[in-house]
Structure 1
Amino acid sequence: MKKLIYVPIIHMSADLGSIAKQVDKRGIAGFGEEFWKRHRETISGFWDIIIKYFSNLEARDFKIYQDGLVADGKVGQKIVEEGIKGGSKNYEVINDLLKRGAILVQTENFNLVKEERDRIVKITQAKTITRKLMAYLKYRLAKNKLLKKRDNYIAKRIDETLNHGETGILFVGAYHNIIPKLSKDFQLTEVKEAKKVRDYQRLLLHYRKNEEEFEELAKYLISPVVC
């Protein structure tokens, strides 16, 4: 039996690289500075809980699979280090696991990740409303197909590289759909419920209409892990 610890994640601004400032700028413009600050504090608190959970876990020889990670070895380690420099708690927890004997595994296909990032960058860098709308529509049309390709690739990588009796840790955005695509010989531990993480992100856009539910989900994200 293979074991997989599944962490459905929400990306911090620090994980978004060159588009982080644009995302924060649009977040403040759309929701107000106070609300956006609380949202960022919730995401930071979520990662603090994840860090605490893994700090108590024996991680030697565990294999780490990470959303967007297109290399392992020295290049993968460099990606982790650069992420930490940028303030990523996601890469902070991974680095701690590596120091305790975990193994970084190339998780994604470079071309697929680059295609998605390039489409998002085109939206954020568009100089006119018309160009921004066109870039957004093109991204929306390609998004689901691209996400499915990425999910298929990630699932295949886990199946091929995680051996019987080994444990893997998967850090991946909550909107990915990896688990159903894996072979059946997996024992799964879900660190946070993916549906609740997705619901928080979904209600973020309409929080004024669902304020009570949104606040409950925010509390769940920063509550101690029970699994």
Structure 2
Amino acid sequence: MSGTAKRDQEPGSHALTEPRALIYCPVIHSVVDLGALGKPVQSAARTALGAEAWRRRVHTVDQMWNEIERLIEGMDLNPERTRLYQDGLPICEHELDIVKEMTYKGSRNHRILLRLHTRGALLMGTESAPLLLQEYNLAKRLLDPGQGALDGDARDALQMHARVLLKARDRFIAERINSTLAPGDLGILFLGMLHDITPWLDPDIQVAYPLGTPVGSDTVAAQPEDEGPH
């Protein structure tokens, strides 16, 4: 399994001789990254924003990935001590196959992962497959035009469930990093803007935010445009 290797040993006690570091990259998902939900999200967003605002959003996402690519290329990484954590990538036996497929479909996010993996970085299964499936099914319900007939209370209940699932995913991702990021390792995390895993990270993990803090963080004052399912 790509997410488990001989380096996946217990990080040890908190009396670490080497620090654990995490580069946290909040991202806005492209339509390609959203997979089967991409087209429904695009349709809903274009209806809500208008065609011109949607084109500006697409340009913003492209510019963001340009910046991320420059950031990654400018890092002096030791690939053998670098672990890659990815929003939406389940712990399974097929992490690399998923990344290759998404790269083939045009995902710049996954292209970065594949490039770093080819250089020797370890690709980590990051998320709980059951939680991802729950969120996918919930997102389909919320994006279904037929759900427009739902009354306010029913829609509010679905949206509350979505927020609960987002927090559950955040906690799972943080615990995954806590348990697999070894002393001396560097983790690079690509995670949707509305996530925030920092409350559940072990305190000895040194977190850097070269692209800014996530929207979910209490330190962020303003909310950027919605990025759709996360």
TM-score (norm 2): 0.80
Q: Specify the code of the residue in structure 2 equivalent to 1:68.
A: G
Paired residue for 1:71, among 82, 86, 91? 91
Bigger proportion of residues as helix: 1
**Structure 1, residues 14-48: CA drift from partner, whole Å, max 9, x if none?**
11111211221222222221221011111111011
Counterparts of 2:44 and 2:155, CA distance in 1: 15
Displacement of 1:54? 0.8
Match runs of 1:72-111 below 5 Å: 75-111=94-130
Q: Report which stretch shifted further, 109-118 or 176-185.
A: 176-185
Counterparts of 2:216 and 2:195, CA distance in 1: 12
Are residues 136 and 78 of structure 1, via their aligned partners in 2, closer, same or farther at CA, if it must alter by over 3 Å?
farther
Displacement of 1:143? 1.9
Displacement of 1:84? 1.2
Q: Determine the structure 2 residue equivalent to 1:32.
A: 50
Q: Report which stretch shifted further, 173-182 or 46-55.
A: 173-182
Are residues 203 and 178 of structure 1, via their aligned partners in 2, closer, same or farther at CA, if it must alter by over 3 Å?
closer
Q: Determine the structure 1 residue equivalent to 2:193.
A: 174
Are residues 34 and 115 of structure 1, via their aligned partners in 2, closer, same or farther at CA, if it must alter by over 3 Å?
same
5+ unaligned residues in a row in structure 2: which ranges?
1-18
Identity, % of aligned pairs?
Answer: 30
Q: Determine the structure 2 residue equivalent to 1:149.
A: 168
Are residues 21 and 50 of structure 1, via their aligned partners in 2, closer, same or farther at CA, if it must alter by over 3 Å?
same
Counterparts of 2:70 and 2:92, CA distance in 1: 25
TM-score (norm 1): 0.81
Q: Helix, strand or coil: the match of 2:223?
A: helix
Displacement of 1:125? 3.0
Are residues 136 and 98 of structure 1, via their aligned partners in 2, closer, same or farther at CA, if it must alter by over 3 Å?
farther
**Structure 1, residues 170-191: CA drift from partner, whole Å, max 9, x if none?**
1111221212211111122112
Counterparts of 1:128 and 1:153, CA distance in 2: 29
Tell me the number of residue pairs that the alignment of Structure 1 and Structure 2 aligns: 204
5+ unaligned residues in a row in structure 1: which ranges?
206-227
Coordinate RMSD, CA, aligned: 2.4
Contact 2:196 2:214 in 1 (8 A): no
**Structure 1, residues 80-133: CA drift from partner, whole Å, max 9, x if none?**
011112221111111111111100111111001110111001222343521597
**Structure 1, residues 62-91: CA drift from partner, whole Å, max 9, x if none?**
001111110355x00111011112221111
Q: Determine the structure 2 residue equivalent to 1:48.
A: 66
Q: Determine the structure 2 residue equivalent to 1:115.
A: 134
